[in-house]
Homo-oligomer: A and B are copies of this chain.
Amino acid sequence: MIGQTERYEAIINKLRNEGFRITPQRLSIIKVLISDNSHPSIERVYNQVKTDFPTTSLATIYKTVAMLKDMGELMEISLGDGSNRVDGYTPDTHPHLICSHCKKIVDADVEEVKAVDLALTHTYGFKITGHRLDFFGLCPECQTISKN
């Protein structure tokens, strides 16, 4: 498990190396993204950044998120109903558990996923470069509530 400070430094170095400029807006956006594990919407990131930087525009958030996505530092999660969320907390792709009821998103990590990757590579000849694994269901809390 790599610490947040290290991750922050690493991303900034990567930006520098690839010729991108280090602006206070970008620093703020990165800080929010890597410290927020709630899988926020772009709108939510925007609002968080605005508390530090009241003049920030949504366009800047979109542009920065796109840049970080290209760099592989974050992934987008589509909720199926059109709305998207951002996951910049965990750098590697991993499954998400999405509660259909309260919309909570939980990061999952199961060994078994590797077996699926391997099987697909083997059976279909695809060279797998990434995946988006979203499982929908009811979280423990919502299962309890709906039983009331």
Contact = CB atoms under 8 A, between A and B. Distances in A.
A110 interface: yes
A135 B123 CA distance: 13
A139 interface: yes
Contact of A116 (B95, B124, B138, B140): B95
B108 A125 contact: no
Number of copies: 2
A68 to B, nearest CB: 15
Interface of A: 76, 78, 80, 95, 97, 99-100, 106, 108, 110-113, 115-117, 119-120, 123-140, 143
25 contacts: A80-B132, A97-B120, A97-B124, A97-B128, A106-B126, A108-B120, A108-B124, A110-B116, A110-B123, A111-B119, A112-B115, A112-B116, A112-B119, A117-B135, A120-B135, A125-B139, A126-B137, A126-B140, A127-B137, A127-B143, A128-B135, A128-B136, A129-B137, A130-B135, A133-B133
